Structure 1
Amino acid sequence: NQVGGNDELLFDGASFMCDAGGTLVHRAAGFREDLTVVELGADGACHGEIQPYPDAIASVREALVLGTRDYVHKCGFENVVLGLSGGIDSAVTCAIAVEALGAEHVLGVAMPSRFSSDHSVNDAVALAEALDVRLLTIPIRDIHHAMERDLAPWFAGTEPGIAEENIQARIRGNLLMALSNKFGRLLLTTGNKSEIAVGYCTLYGDMCGGLAVISDLPKTTVYELARHMNDHASREIIPLSTIEKPPSAELRPDQHDQQSLPPYDILDAILHRYVELDESIDDIIQAGFEQATVRKVARLVDLNEYKRKQMATGLKVTSRAFGIGRRMPIAAKF
């Protein structure tokens, strides 16, 4: 079996051999190169070694580590940069990058605004310290204020909304791209599959970058992976407060994801059926999900195809990923 990453596609290795009766008698290592010899007896008996294969969540971790390492190196980079918000997505992405490349090759950037909570800033610092990653802190308050001031005459008489919130994300994207460009570091984006599916992300903002490490991970799996990575490391590399606090983009006061989206366990279950299993809206409703919620989610998925067309290459770990696995039109209706 092939092993390694090529763009979105990840190959896990784990070549195996069965005897004449179909019994597994040999399996090579998974997610790394391996060379083994299998003895074939004159009577047809095979004698080999069965290497253990990681469980489901460990396989996800190893696949993302392998895919990140191969993509970065095959594209001619040694170092990466990413924004650290204190949230779960950037924390998991950073931990994957450190395992793939080594802490010395990973640069984290915290870019607090006036809406950033103290605990998020502290969580970003704690993560960087736990992973031994260099952390730059570049407050965006002054840049944000300057843009608000310059846009004020043209926004006058309108209610503040998404446009104003997205200014912050685009400031951060601009700063990260400047650091990437100046120092030759590949920028990693940190969006998860749930948010990318429904467009809960900012084009030319948090979507900026060259590799979307966790873009095929539903939000519920991101939490599961975070806990697994702490268990795997036998210490708290991802702060417990990051895992336990309500997720928030922190682009306005007292903002939480569930103000705009269904609870992630419900959202991910609907997305699994709609995106990966290709079930119809009616079939999903008949499975027991609330009709209005299903129709809203499906509508958001369809409306935000234009964003996904411009997203960075993502690593495929589910049965159907956006990009190579799901090609849909933007303007044409279906």
Structure 2
Amino acid sequence: MGCRIQIAQLNLRVGDVAGNAGRVIAAAHQARAAGADLVVFPELALTGYPPEDLLLRPELIARVASALARVCAEVRGITLVLGYPRATAAGLFNMAGVIRDGALVAEYAKQELPNYSVFDEKRYFQPGRAAVVFEHRGLRLGLSVCEDIWQDGPTAAAAAAGAQVLINLNASPFHAGKRAEREGLVARRALDHGLTILYANLVGGQDELVFDGASFVVDRDGRVQARAAQFQEQALLVDLDDDGRPSGGTATGVTSGADTQDEAAIYQALVLGVTDYVRKNGFSGAVLGLSGGVDSALTLAIAVDALGADQVEAVLMPSRYTADMSNEDALEQARRLGVRTHTIPIAPAFDSFLAMLEPAFAGRAPDVTEENIQARCRGVILMALSNKQGRILLTTGNKSEMAVGYATLYGDMAGGFAPIKDCPKTLVYRLARYRNGLDPSIPERVLTRAPSAELRPDQTDQDSLPPYEILDPILRLYIEEDQGVDAICAQGFDEAVVRKVTRLVDRNEYKRRQAPPGVRISQRAFGRDRRYPITSGF
């Protein structure tokens, strides 16, 4: 007999239970119209993911119960596999439920609760203990949820219970290389246990996380038979024969289901992260400072691709140290992208602050204090425009700067969202080159001149930092791989440089705690991933 299954790869909003239920119902109706007899939704679809401490509020759980009843009442003629939290006498569980003809006919509780990296599920959920297999059109379908597929036990248990096909509901966040990693792991599970596996993933931005979708179907020989695209909603249809083998799939809503790698995937993740953070939080658009440097140039391109040129404003704030070419390049990029600009020199504000502080600074030579005042003058201007217009202020700092504290509190760190916060400087250049390959919006001089904060005469970043080609690999080893000084030096780096860099990372945790959230694209970003004490004798 076989069946036709649709994976509904949706972009849902955390906490909007009624809205998410409406999206589920609409997607179920669409799937039925497309000829599907079963539709699969992502993990915790009714609440969005991750709901975090909203799960501790009884009102949320009550809303989920009401939404579940609504779905049961409004959908007929198609079976649903849906993710949601359920409270029982034994505790709160991360569920995958099977809804058919208005009734909840089976429920599976997630067994493996991740409690590492960005995940904190043991704070909220109790683990399930048993496999669940249900009948559908002559096939035996097993259920699992996200982390269950990364550990062998739940898959083995489903196979032992007689499953021919395993449906895996996911809210799996993106990092570079994640798609290939997932597909390789699921292929091994399919081969090991002789199962067809349907991997249904969430898509969309949620605070610092981006869920990339990239849902897929693997046959029992470990071959990917159908893929959904990354970073956008999609309905992926797949036909299974009466033995549960897929006969290929079709995706609607995009032109290609091909894989996306490296800079292209990272750039799309950044765009989606900005789009959803701005839209889901109700901002009318974005404003940012445009300096003529590569960081703000990339951030502007991302903002325009995310929101549209008419929803973005760029502000030039030259000082006495700003080179003419910085203003020229900033204006040229804004012209190419069609973005409105304001030019607001900071000299009057800077001079006023110096005059005000002159008695207190008497007898003290100029130093980084005066540099920071300039950055804070710019922060005040940008926040004023953000407040007046209701547009979010996007900060432009990168991961290399945030790692070593090369940023000014209440200055260039001021803002609501940091699109390239998890991008090392060397990656920023690669992403800018990638973006220019699509459309040459960033002037070439921005990509070839020496980077500078332009806060004192003839300043370059390398006056106080190692070259980024050396700095970034050291930071990766120390931050993302937890390697110590000796291990890093063993890879050929100068010990004095390594010690300087690691000291800077350690002493600037207090700054990072006060930084805005930003898109996570690595396996270890600052924020949810890496939680170090500010006060520490380690």
Q: Quote the Cα distance in structure 2 between the aligned partners of 1:42 and 1:27.
A: 21
TM-score normalised according to structure 1 size: 0.98
Correspondent of 1:58 among 255, 264, 269: 264
Gaps of 5+ in 2: 1-200, 251-255
Correspondent of 1:123 among 324, 329, 332: 329
Look up the match of 1:33.
Answer: 233
Q: Which amino acid aligns with 2:460?
A: H
Q: Quote the Cα distance in structure 1 between the aligned partners of 2:536 and 2:507.
A: 11
SS at match of 2:394: strand
Look up the match of 1:218.
Answer: 424
Q: Quote the Cα distance in structure 2 between the aligned partners of 1:328 and 1:45.
A: 48
SS at match of 2:225: strand
CA offset at residue 43 of structure 1?
Answer: 4.6
Q: Quote the Cα distance in structure 1 between the aligned partners of 2:223 and 2:284.
A: 43
What is the CA deviation profile of residues 62-101 of structure 1, one whole-angstrom value per residue up to 9, with x for unaligned ones? Answer: 0000000000011111211000001000000010000000
Q: Does residue 229 in structure 1 map to residue 435 in structure 2?
A: yes
CA offset at residue 152 of structure 1?
Answer: 1.4
Check conservation: 2:285, 2:312, Cα contact below 8 A: yes
Look up the match of 1:274.
Answer: 478
Q: Quote the Cα distance in structure 1 between the aligned partners of 2:300 and 2:470.
A: 27
Correspondent of 1:48 among 245, 249, 258: 249
CA offset at residue 332 of structure 1?
Answer: 2.5
Look up the match of 2:410.
Answer: 204
CA offset at residue 199 of structure 1?
Answer: 0.3
SS at match of 2:236: coil
Check conservation: 1:20, 1:44, Cα contact below 8 A: no
Look up the match of 2:3.
Answer: none
Look up the match of 1:255.
Answer: 459
SS at match of 2:204: strand
What is the CA deviation profile of residues 196-240 of structure 1, one whole-angstrom value per residue up to 9, with x for unaligned ones? Answer: 10000000000000001000000000000000001022xx20110
Look up the match of 2:357.
Answer: 151
Check conservation: 2:227, 2:236, Cα contact below 8 A: no
Check conservation: 2:204, 2:272, Cα contact below 8 A: yes
Look up the match of 1:160.
Answer: 366
SS at match of 2:211: strand
What is the CA deviation profile of residues 281-314 of structure 1, one whole-angstrom value per residue up to 9, with x for unaligned ones? Answer: 1100111100000000000000000000000011
Look up the match of 2:443.
Answer: 239
CA offset at residue 44 of structure 1?
Answer: 4.0
Q: Quote the Cα distance in structure 2 between the aligned partners of 1:333 and 1:326.
A: 17
Gaps of 5+ in 1: none
Identical columns (%)? 56
Look up the match of 1:169.
Answer: 375
Look up the match of 2:205.
Answer: 5
What is the CA deviation profile of residues 121-171 of structure 1, one whole-angstrom value per residue up to 9, with x for unaligned ones? Answer: 101101100110000000111111111122112112111100011110000
Q: Quote the Cα distance in structure 1 between the aligned partners of 2:471 and 2:520.
A: 20
Correspondent of 2:521 among 308, 317, 320: 317
Q: Quote the Cα distance in structure 1 between the aligned partners of 2:373 and 2:268.
A: 35
Report the count of equivalent residues: 332
Q: Is the strand fraction higher in 1 or 2?
A: 2
Q: Which amino acid aligns with 1:276?
A: E
Q: Which is greater in Rg?
A: 2
Q: Quote the Cα distance in structure 1 between the aligned partners of 2:388 and 2:243.
A: 64
Correspondent of 1:19 among 197, 201, 219: 219
Q: Quote the Cα distance in structure 2 between the aligned partners of 1:138 and 1:333.
A: 44
SS at match of 1:36: strand
Q: Quote the Cα distance in structure 2 between the aligned partners of 1:332 and 1:200.
A: 21
RMSD of equivalent CA atoms:
0.9
Alignment map for 1:64-83 (pairs within 5 Å): 64-83=270-289
Q: Does residue 301 in structure 1 map to residue 505 in structure 2?
A: yes
Q: Which amino acid aligns with 1:200?
A: Y
Q: Quote the Cα distance in structure 2 between the aligned partners of 1:272 and 1:184.
A: 36
CA offset at residue 51 of structure 1?
Answer: 1.2
TM-score normalised according to structure 2 size: 0.61
Q: Quote the Cα distance in structure 1 between the aligned partners of 2:430 and 2:409.
A: 27
What is the CA deviation profile of residues 259-300 of structure 1, one whole-angstrom value per residue up to 9, with x for unaligned ones? Answer: 010000100000000000111111001111000000000000
SS at match of 1:119: helix
Q: Quote the Cα distance in structure 2 between the aligned partners of 1:105 and 1:94.
A: 11
Q: Quote the Cα distance in structure 1 between the aligned partners of 2:298 and 2:337.
A: 11
Look up the match of 2:536.
Answer: 332
SS at match of 1:189: coil
